[in-house]
Chains A and B, each alone.
Chain A
Amino acid sequence: MSKGPLLEVKDLVVHFPIGKGQFVRPVDHVSFSINEGEVLSLVGESGSGKSTIGKALVRMIEPAEGSILVGDRDVAHIRGREIMAYRRDAQMVFQDPFGSLNPTRTIEQHLAFPIRKHRTNRSVSVDKQIDELLEKVGLTPVSETRRKFPHELSGGQRQRVAIARALAVNPKFIVADEPISMLDVSIRAGILRLMNDLRRDLNIGFLYITHDLASARYIGNRIMVLYGGKVMETAESGELIKYPTHPYTRLLLTATPGNRQRGPLPETSNSAPNLLEGRVGCPFANRCPLVSDVCRTQDPPLVETSAGHSVACHHPA
């Protein structure tokens, strides 16, 4: 897969006002790129900023600083019509397939809307495109599915409709925000495999947001571990699982169920990271078993320790 970057994010900062002139910064100088047909897994706990990055990427929110280069165009601060046009490139699949579909519309209507709105290829009828989409995501028999309402479908089927809807505009990349965490175990694998097929066959880039390292590793070419809005560690998936160097990554790995080699969990507090703008030091410092004075006073820079493996830590293993 030698494709150029589809998308390049540089020093992305998102902040939200919390009154009295103060801001929280759920995303703090995050940089990454996604290639065509590549899946980047974003892993972190709740509050790590992973969903905020996803929303900034499809421009549901506007970043405060930094750039989002799609091709050679910076979409970080586009507005109005330009955002509408940008949605043809960037789509999103949400966590909750029960909340993301309109209960009063049929599946057909769900798919016809984006097709009509962003129609580029008028030689194929909308009807035919709907059939193709449903077939692509494995919702057959198509004629039956088209007429159904969301409540007639199971969670897994609904998530397939959500994916079909994202595909309707032929996007270059899709942000998938915990697409399987609300689904049953036996259904999850099917959705992951579907995403994998789409990546391979349609060359779509994915940003896969999750808190589960095992699925991140399965679907992602690379994994990026976030904590407190900052990148802690990023590497090729297999490498990250095998040779984690950041104390937070190692904590996550130890905590993940099914990890048979795990030792005991190190004694750490479970306090939430400080997200206030103007904080200093490593966000993980107050939970880190290896913490020293420098961690509380200086932000560790993200340093490449081996090819493609970067870590932001003063005391990497």
Chain B
Amino acid sequence: MADNNQPVLEIEDLSVAYVTPSGLVSAVNDVNLSIYPGEIVGLIGESGSGKSTMAYTIMRLLKGDAIVTKGRVKILGQDIYKMSRKELREFRWDKMSMVFQSAMSALNPVMTVETQIVDALQAHRKGMSYREAVARAEELMDLVRIDRKHLKSYPHELSGGMRQRVVIAIAIALEPSLVIMDEPTTALDVVVQRSILDEIKKIQEQVGFAIMFVSHDFSLVAELASRVAIMYAGRLIEITPSELLHLGEKHHPYTEGLLRAIPELTADEVTIQGIPGYPPDLQDLPSGCAFHPRCPYATDICRQVRPQKLKVEEKLIECHLFSEKEAVEHV
């Protein structure tokens, strides 16, 4: 086991762009993020913010028209973009795995659950006999709380929640150090979602892998993760411990806007306020801080200069508002 100070995942100055007929469109920009063993980190963003691109970049699953223009992704200290195909094939799923959003298309419709789990196990554990693999598959089914009899089922015979549990079972089959979950519960009903999240948390505590949980649902991530990273227009604009993720704290104006935009369930009085405008077009990003056209606090400097990341209390925030405030406080 790696010692606790070495991150499982290190993303350094990562930029990813898509090649289009009208030039490069940058989807991920100068992202730095580390995830430590046993940690759950939430990655939040709207559609087009680059969160899924980032998840795919970490798995080195980017399709032909997307290229890493800058930076490195290291998992357990190894740069995955320096690996050969063979090394990558062995590394992937063994050390890092991924749970995709759509469980139906992540599973093979013409193979039973058992075959799929055994397949993943035997592909990576050369010496493992069929019998051992089935025994491990049974263990995994117990872990995600599905009746063992469903090992003989085909994906279409299972409900959406059960399918997603199977996908999770396959993802953790080889005890990876990092599991990336890309909106694993978005397509599910709330009650099923809750029970799957509870289970993820329980298994994670038992087994101890790290999770990067990609989602657009703020309240859900705040409950599950210990740290939350917020993405806007390809940049990580804030990284905050999740217990500080509420309106009483200092936040990036975008985070603040998102927090105001969600109706609270149990408050006595509910008021919500949307963020004006619409998410930006990545082909034509606003100058300076990409959020400035929608930001209520925008000033001239926001239109011209891209803000630097600053440590504000225990948070990292990329906003001029804080550099100014901090400066004022220092004087």
Q: Are A45 and B47 in contact (CB under 8 A)?
A: no
Q: Are B223 and A257 in contact (CB under 8 A)?
A: yes
Known contacts A156-B278, A185-B262, A259-B266: does B272 contact A193 (CB below 8 Å)?
yes
Q: Does B192 contact A (CB under 8 A)?
A: yes
B window 170-224: CB within 8 A of A: 189-195, 198, 216-220, 222-223
Q: Are A187 and B274 in contact (CB under 8 A)?
A: yes
Q: Are B263 and A218 in contact (CB under 8 A)?
A: yes
A257–B191 CA distance with the chains assembled, in angstroms? 10
Report the contact-size class of chain B (Cβ under 8 Å from the partner): 35 or more
Q: Does B110 contact A (CB under 8 A)?
A: no
Q: Which residue of A lies closest to B47 (CB)?
A: A184
Binary interface profile of B, 256-267, with partner A (CB < 8 Å = 1, else 0)?
Answer: 011011111110
Name the one of B195, B218, B264 contacting A270, with C-beta atoms under 8 angstroms. B195
Name the one of A215, A242, A251, A253 contacting B263, with C-beta atoms under 8 angstroms. A215
Number of A interface residues at 8 Å Cβ cutoff, please give it: 43
What total count of A-B pairs have CB within 8 Å?
A: 116
Q: Does B46 contact A (CB under 8 A)?
A: yes
Q: Does A192 contact B (CB under 8 A)?
A: yes
Q: Does A285 contact B (CB under 8 A)?
A: no
Name the one of A185, A211, A271 contacting B258, with C-beta atoms under 8 angstroms. A185
Q: Are B261 and A189 in contact (CB under 8 A)?
A: yes
Q: How far is the CB of B327 from chain A (nearest CB, A)?
A: 29
Q: How far is the CB of B42 from chain A (nearest CB, A)?
A: 12
A82–B310 CA distance with the chains assembled, in angstroms? 64
Binary interface profile of B, 127-153, with partner A (CB < 8 Å = 1, else 0)?
Answer: 000000000000000000000000000
Q: Are A193 and B263 in contact (CB under 8 A)?
A: no
Q: Which residue of A lies closest to B294 (CB)?
A: A186
Name the one of B192, B220, B268, B274 contacting A189, with C-beta atoms under 8 angstroms. B274
Q: How far is the CB of A198 from chain B (nearest CB, A)?
A: 15
Name the one of A191, A241, A272 contacting B265, with C-beta atoms under 8 angstroms. A241
Q: Are B265 and A265 in contact (CB under 8 A)?
A: no
A window 62-107: CB within 8 A of B: none
Q: Which residue of B lies closest to A181 (CB)?
A: B186
Residues of B contacting A251 with CB < 8 Å? 191
Residues of B contacting A253 with CB < 8 Å? 265
Known contacts A154-B278, A193-B274: does B263 contact A252 (CB below 8 Å)?
no
A257–B276 CA distance with the chains assembled, in angstroms? 25
Q: How far is the CB of B102 from chain A (nearest CB, A)?
A: 15
Q: Does B159 contact A (CB under 8 A)?
A: yes
Name the one of B218, B254, B265, B279 contacting A217, with C-beta atoms under 8 angstroms. B265
A185–B218 CA distance with the chains assembled, in angstroms? 9
Most buried by A among B195, B260, B266, B278: B266
Name the one of B192, B194, B278 contacting A254, with C-beta atoms under 8 angstroms. B194
Q: How far is the CB of B26 from chain A (nearest CB, A)?
A: 19
Q: Are B266 and A260 in contact (CB under 8 A)?
A: yes
Most buried by A among B220, B274, B276: B274
Q: Are A184 and B46 in contact (CB under 8 A)?
A: yes
A window 214-246: CB within 8 A of B: 214-215, 217-218, 238, 241-242
Q: Are B274 and A190 in contact (CB under 8 A)?
A: yes
Q: Are A157 and B278 in contact (CB under 8 A)?
A: yes
Residues of B contacting A4 with CB < 8 Å? none
Q: Does A295 contact B (CB under 8 A)?
A: no
Q: Are A192 and B272 in contact (CB under 8 A)?
A: yes
Q: Which residue of A lies closest to B224 (CB)?
A: A257
Q: Are A255 and B194 in contact (CB under 8 A)?
A: yes
Q: Does B155 contact A (CB under 8 A)?
A: no
Name the one of B162, B194, B268, B274 contacting A186, with C-beta atoms under 8 angstroms. B274
Q: How far is the CB of A52 from chain B (nearest CB, A)?
A: 16
Q: Are A213 and B189 in contact (CB under 8 A)?
A: no
Name the one of B216, B273, B276 contacting A184, with C-beta atoms under 8 angstroms. B216
Q: Are A218 and B47 in contact (CB under 8 A)?
A: no
Q: How far is the CB of A144 from chain B (nearest CB, A)?
A: 14
Q: Does B37 contact A (CB under 8 A)?
A: no
Name the one of A46, A184, A191 contacting B189, with C-beta atoms under 8 angstroms. A46
Residues of A contacting B189 with CB < 8 Å? 45-46, 211
A238–B265 CA distance with the chains assembled, in angstroms? 9
Q: Does B275 contact A (CB under 8 A)?
A: yes
Name the one of A155, A156, A184, A257 contacting B219, with C-beta atoms under 8 angstroms. A257
A187–B268 CA distance with the chains assembled, in angstroms? 23
A162–B193 CA distance with the chains assembled, in angstroms? 30
B window 242-272: CB within 8 A of A: 254, 257-258, 260-266, 268, 270, 272
Known contacts A214-B262, A217-B270: does B257 contact A186 (CB below 8 Å)?
yes
Q: How far is the CB of B120 from chain A (nearest CB, A)?
A: 25
Name the one of B46, B195, B218, B220 contacting A265, with C-beta atoms under 8 angstroms. B195
B window 274-290: CB within 8 A of A: 274-276, 278-279
Q: Are A45 and B191 in contact (CB under 8 A)?
A: yes
Q: Does B7 contact A (CB under 8 A)?
A: no
Residues of B contacting A190 with CB < 8 Å? 274, 276
Q: Does B161 contact A (CB under 8 A)?
A: yes
Q: Are A270 and B262 in contact (CB under 8 A)?
A: no
Task: List chain A positions with a Cβ less than 8 A from chain B.
Answer: 45-46, 154-157, 184-193, 211-215, 217-218, 238, 241-242, 251-261, 264-265, 268, 270-272
Write 18 A-B pairs (CB below 8 A) sorted by A numbering: A154-B279, A155-B47, A185-B261, A186-B274, A188-B274, A189-B260, A189-B272, A189-B274, A191-B274, A241-B266, A255-B191, A255-B194, A257-B193, A257-B219, A258-B223, A264-B198, A268-B191, A270-B195
The 6 A-B residue pairs with the shortest CB-CB distance, nearest first, are A258-B219, A189-B274, A190-B274, A255-B194, A218-B263, A257-B220
Known: A193-B272, A258-B265, A265-B194. 4 other contacts (CB 8 A): A185-B216, A257-B223, A258-B222, A265-B191
